[in-house]
Structure 1
Amino acid sequence: MTDDPEGQDIRDLIGMRSRFAFALVALYVLTCFTCAASTLSGVVHPGPVFAAAALCSTGAIVLTATAGDPLPLRYAIPVSAIGPLSCGLVFSVIPAPPSSTLQTWTLGTSVALYTVMCVRGRTPFAWMGFVATAGVTLWWCVSTGQGVGRGISHGVVNTAPLLMSSFFAYTLRPLSRSIFELRRRSTARVAFEAAAAAVLDERDSQLERLDEMARPLLERTVNGPDLSAEEVLACTLLEAELRDSLRARALVDPRLRQSVRTARGRGVNVVLLDDRAEDLAPGVRDALVTSTAEHIDRIDHGSATIRLLPAGRPLLATMLVDAGETYRIEYEHDGSIAEAAH
């Protein structure tokens, strides 16, 4: 798996974003510093011990809070180095042999980090860090006269948790891919069904509007008598409005529709065109509709063409008016008038 913008992160499957997970991290941090503070017997310089606790705590926070799956390399490499570094810091100041087995607490805390690294998809880095930690431990035991056997025993004891986490990672992670794929398909299906439902709703809305607007005149045409001049004009205006609803969906607004209908009734030829194919922000649409409606209300004869331009053009829309004189009104992308060109 890769770092996925849609949130396909294995942390979601094992609850690493939950409050309980962050509570465990807090407990881990508290444990590190408690171990550091309670194992200072025979330690002259405690600074390195607390530095090791800070290193382990930082690693736990990074493993829990860092997004991306697998864990990004820029974090995986430093975290894998925490084991040998923290052990080296502690071994440099504790007595040899230790006054208590708890003084080698960094061996356990570093393995805890490596088990989580396996789950985060960086099993090879976890094992490299573990081997480096075991090497540091073996070197310390040999150089301080504790013997090879003691150094090896530390590594053998801590191998079991890492083996278990490696097995868990290699079984869980392939399963997680299937889970995420199923979720993606489910999301796509829901989106498709929602889009289909929206299309059906829009169709029903258009049918209701058509029924409301056209049925009376159609019934009048079928049942007779012959249409009067006023009714013929009403049919003409209705046909133009229906054409507007198909050619200029973004401009279909009650305010503009009334102005256009009234202007057509005065004999003005009004054409609405939408070449944008994108929805307008409500504020921009309101400003554009209000301005064009006001201009159409002032036209007594001639023609006017309002056109929404394709997305990416320098202008949002234009209004070309031929009413004795010809001029063009240009609209900025915020719906305001740019200039009037004659």
Structure 2
Amino acid sequence: MNNAISRPLILAMGLAFPASHIVLGIFNLDMLLSPWPALLAMGICVALMVVVTMPASDRGLSRRNAVITVAGTALMDVLVQSVLPTGIHPGYAAWHCGAIQMLLVTVALRKQIGLAWLGIGIFSVLDFSGSMLHRLSPVDGLALVVTPLMWIGIAHAVSRVFGRCDVLVRNYEDQEKRSAARIAREHARWLSQNDWVTELEHATKPTLTKVATGNLDASDRADCGYLQDELRDQVRGRVLATPPVLKSARAARERGVAVEIFDDREAALPDAVQQEALAQLIGALDRAESGFVKARALPRGQEIAVTILAYDENTPDDEFYLEVREQPEGADGARVVH
């Protein structure tokens, strides 16, 4: 928005106003001792108009272009001063004063305030000295430089306002992004909770209906126990409690295996680590005939991401222990240590 507002202002200051001063100077060439230095200064002015207004896509001006503008305006002042009449006020023959002030105002608006003040300072010294050499009164000499100085002061103030607007706009955009992210998280949490409630209702409603009617046989009571274990796995196991794992865990419990799944990480696992851990956990659950299977996702920041321990009472010498580790940063995949 800042660029959209300031761009027309930059074009007006850097193109329209200097061009109008050039026109005034052309109509007053007869007052000069020679028109050629003034015409050369007009050519320099046209070139500087392009320098201070390009590129069109950014309000900032490069330091190189600002330095070129300062040097060019100083040369313009020297050229025009060299042919001004002596002993009389030059009027619009001193067209360069207005053109220089607008070029330097554009430099200030385009965030090169220090160089704009340097340029107007050089202009003020050269122009006032030239006025004294042309035997103008100190008042007339000051009149030619005071207005450009005031314009640079105004441009400085406007540029600071634009700068504050930039800060406010960036802060507003940051707040908007944070608000959007917070709303998205809340919406995702709400959807997740709704999905969880829907899945919970779907999983528990048949069993709860049987409990309510009191018609429970041994098989139904066992199903209640398996359902309770599955819900506990989802609450405590989180990242490891995927549907395939829950299915294998139930089948293992039906065979008499004690299954415990914990998530102490409370954050997502890297894809490669999760895929390897889930594959190893499902394999351990499917192989188990008795004993226990314990899986744990360890807190974030540790080299070991997941541990799996399986013990089968039928084969006590074949205890199974496995660690799934994260690869160092920049490497792909997961490391498995038996």
Q: What TM-score does the superposition give when structure 2 sets the normalisation length?
A: 0.67
Give the aligned length: 309
Q: Confirm or deny: 8 A CA contact 2:77 2:127 kept in the other structure.
A: no
Q: Which residue of 1 aligns with 2:104?
A: 110
Cα 1:162–1:237 change in 2 (3 A) is same
Considering only CA atoms, is the larger Rg found in Structure 1 or Structure 2?
Answer: 2
Amino acid at match of 1:111: V
Give the structure 2 partner of residue 158 of structure 1.
148
Question: Structure 1 186/19 Cα, relative in aligned 2: closer, same or farther at 3 Å?
Answer: closer
CA distances 1:33-63 after superposition (whole Å, capped 9, x unpaired):
xx9xxx99449x99xx69x849954997897
Aligned pairs for 1:289-308 within 5 A: 289-308=278-297
CA distance in 2, matches of 1:263, 1:217: 21
Alignment of 1:191-202 (within 5 A): 191-202=181-192
Cα distance between partner residues in 2 of 1:21 and 1:169: 13
- Tell me the CA shift for residue 223 of structure 1: 0.9
Q: Alpha carbons of 1:279 and 1:340: their partners in 2 closer, same or farther (altered >3 Å)?
A: closer
Cross-structure match for 1:8: none
Give the CA deviation at 1:338: 2.4
Query: What residue ranges of structure 1 are gaps of 5+ in the alignment?
Result: 1-11, 67-74
Give a deviation string over 1:94-126, Cα, whole Å, max 9, x none.
771379756675543222111343xx9x6xx47
Matched, 1:236 2:251: no
Give the Cα separation in 1 of the matches to 2:254 and 2:122: 89
Distance 1:243 1:194 in 2: 28
Quote the RMSD (CA, aligned, Å). 4.8
Q: 2:200 aligns with which of 197, 210, 213?
A: 210
Aligned 8 A contact 2:128 2:145 in 1: no
Structure 2 Cα separation of the partners of residues 129 and 279 of structure 1? 57
Q: Work out the CA distance in 2 between the residues paired with 1:82 and 1:192.
A: 48
Distance 1:59 1:113, change over 3 A: farther
Aligned partners of 1:237 and 1:264 also within 8 Å: yes
Q: Contact 2:132 / 2:141 at 8 angstroms: preserved in 1?
A: no
State how far apart, in whole Å, the 2-side matches of 1:249 and 1:258 are: 15
Q: 1 CA distance for matches of 2:125 and 2:320?
A: 84
SS of the equivalent of 1:301 reads coil
Gaps of 5+ in 2: 27-34, 86-92
One of 18, 36, 59 as aligned partner of 1:64: 59
Given the superposition, is the C-alpha separation of residues 155 and 92 from structure 1 closer, same or farther in structure 2, using an over 3 Å criterion? closer
Whether the 8 Å contact between 2:325 and 2:336 is mirrored in structure 1 is no
Q: Distance in 1 between matches of 2:14 and 2:160?
A: 25
Report the AA paired with residue 323 of structure 2: E
Task: Summarize deviations over 1:146-181 as a string: whole Å, max 9, x none.
Answer: 866776444334245434434545666667766666
CA distance in 2, matches of 1:151, 1:61: 36
Q: How does 1:259-298 map to 2 (within 5 A)?
A: 259-282=248-271, 284-298=273-287
Q: Which residue of 2 aligns with 1:137?
A: 126
**CA 1:107 to 1:193, structure 2 compared with 1: closer, same or farther past 3 Å?**
closer
CA distance in 2, matches of 1:169, 1:19: 12
Q: 211, 214, 232: which one pairs with 1:224?
A: 214
Q: Please, what TM-score do these two structures have when normalized by structure 1?
A: 0.66
Identity %: 16
1:312 aligns with 2:309: no
Tell me, in whole angstroms, the C-alpha distance in 2 between the residues paired with 1:170 and 1:108. 18
8 Å contact kept, 1:56–1:109: no
Q: Report the 3-state secondary structure (helix = DSSP H, G, I; strand = E; otherwise coil) of the residue aligned with 1:332.
A: strand
Q: CA deviation at 1:139?
A: 6.5
Q: 2: distance between equivalents of 1:247 and 1:152?
A: 83
